[in-house]
Amino acid sequence: MNLSKISSSQIEIIEKNNDYLSFYIKNNLVLSKIIGEFDSNLKEIENITNTKINLRGNLMIVRGDISDRQSVVQIMDNLIAKFVNTNSIEKEDIKTIFDVTKMNRIEANPNSIYNDNDAIKTSKKIILPRSEKQKIYVDALKNHKIVMALGPAGTGKTFLAVAVAVTFLLEDRVKKIILSRPAVEAGENLGFLPGDMKDKIDPYLIPLYDSLYELLGYEKIQR
């Protein structure tokens, strides 16, 4: 990581030498969110980067291997970007960012993994892709009419697609969202279903409904 390419204006590098790296986080609110309750986020960052971080006011002093020290700064940089975009930081974000920054170092790509173009903004929450592949998927959803995605269950394929669709609807880029029954069933074989067309189709659409409820809320969906 080239420390001169830090994207956040909240971080100021104070000193770097063979023994330690020190940097300053300017905003107290940002600092409190970064370190977490009872320094829980800071301890997690220490564990995954194999470093020792001393906090003196708004100054952080990081000791460890040079590459590990740089990882700490990049994690902090991306956590700040995450907080600016979503007003929240979750503990799992730390591991996600660490994994992606490792991949970015291999690919010599020092850019922040979070930016405003990646954000999927709905009325209830803001969603950010958690990996480079999810970023590629979201970009494809935003820029192509037909997107095919393959991957194991639980990797965000349905949820991200619904999130982008909801964003387009809220921004008046589309007039309606059409939910269609999947050609391949997700989960158990439901067999013959009694009732009218809605009764027959709804069980297949539960993952889509769940995503809509999470993104917009139950009351809006019912209206």
Q: Which helix (H) or strand (E) holds 61?
A: strand 59-63
- Integer CA distances (angstroms), 116 to 81, 127, 144, 205, in order: 9, 11, 19, 30
The model's pTM: 0.51
Q: What is the mean pLDDT of residues 53-82?
A: 91
| pLDDT confidence bin for 3, thresholds 50/70/90 | very low
Q: Which residues contact 34 (CB under 8 A, 6 or more apart)?
A: 25, 41, 42, 76, 79, 80, 83, 89
Q: What is the pLDDT of residue 198?
A: 65
Q: What is the pLDDT of residue 110?
A: 44
When comparing pLDDT for 119 and 120, which is higher?
A: 120
- Nearest by Cα to 141 from 126, 158, 154: 158
Apex 117 CA angle, 115 and 121, nearest 5 = 100
Domains and CATH numbers, the chain: 11-107 (3.30.1370.10), 117-220 (3.40.50.300)
How far, in Å, CA of 101 to CA of 113, rounded? 8
Q: What is the mean pLDDT of residues 121-144?
A: 82
- Nearest by Cα to 128 from 91, 171, 81: 81
- Nearest by Cα to 70 from 43, 101, 42, 96: 101
| pLDDT confidence bin for 87, thresholds 50/70/90 | confident
- Which residues make beta-bridge pairs with 52? 63
What end-to-end distance do the CA atoms of the chain give, in Å?
Answer: 49
